[in-house]
Structure 1
Amino acid sequence: MDRIAKLKEFLQQNPNDNFLEHALALEYIKAGDEEKARNLFETILHRDPSYIGSYYHLAQLLERNGLTSEAISWYEKGMVAAKNANDNHAFNELKMAWEELTL
């Protein structure tokens, strides 16, 4: 069974599991289905804005697709979430990516 199918199976048992949905989104990116990945990342972040890891990957996806202003917005939201969580590592990664787009 491929990874996407396996993750979907796990999600049937644990719907709305952020970790599983995030992993599935990453698999969709690998498979070239960035629209499904984007939808999953956005679902995660609308449901749970404190799930910091998804901000970076969503913004990167948007950036790759030429959606710079949307990417900047998600980097900024992620920086706020990381700061609120005292996650300096995530904050610095998001800030570096944000600076590359804005400076």
Structure 2
Amino acid sequence: MEGRIAQLQEFLKESPNDPFLKYALTMEYVKLGEDGQALAGFEDLLSAHEDYVGTYYHFGKFLESKQEQDRAIEIYEKGMQIAQQKRNFHALGELRNAHLAATGLLDEDE
């Protein structure tokens, strides 16, 4: 994984504003349990690439894993707005289900 992080960091030097590369690097930090780096990556994605829909689901799940339920719900709600605007109905469905589960209105096993 460390090699993958170094590789992604090199790619980011060439394309520092590429949201996919930032997202991929953030997800590597999540996998490694590097919570501070992961949180910083998610926050950067939200501020610099608000319309990158993939961020919202995974950031919400990350927050839920840290027992930050209220913030996760906010992230899902913002993601649903962005997905609706971008007409990304697949992401919208995933975000809705995550939101319903986080609010206790849906059993994730259903």
For the pair 1:55 / 2:56, whether they are aligned, the reply is: yes
Superposition map of 1:18-33 within 5 A = 18-33=19-34
Whichever residue aligns with residue 6 of structure 1, its letter is Q
The separation in 1 between residues aligned to 2:62 and 2:36, in whole angstroms, is: 9
User: TM-score, length-normalised on structure 1?
Assistant: 0.96
2:70 aligned partner: 69
Q: CA RMSD in A?
A: 1.0
Identity across aligned pairs (percent)? 43
The separation in 1 between residues aligned to 2:36 and 2:56, in whole angstroms, is: 15
The separation in 1 between residues aligned to 2:51 and 2:26, in whole angstroms, is: 17
Superposition misfits of 4+ residues, deviation over 3 angstroms: none
For the pair 1:38 / 2:10, whether they are aligned, the reply is: no
The separation in 2 between residues aligned to 1:22 and 1:64, in whole angstroms, is: 18
User: TM-score, length-normalised on structure 2?
Assistant: 0.90
The separation in 2 between residues aligned to 1:11 and 1:33, in whole angstroms, is: 19
Whichever residue aligns with residue 56 of structure 1, its letter is Y
Which runs of 5 or more residues in structure 1 are unaligned? none
Whichever residue aligns with residue 52 of structure 1, its letter is V
Equivalent residues, number: 103
2:87 aligned partner: 86
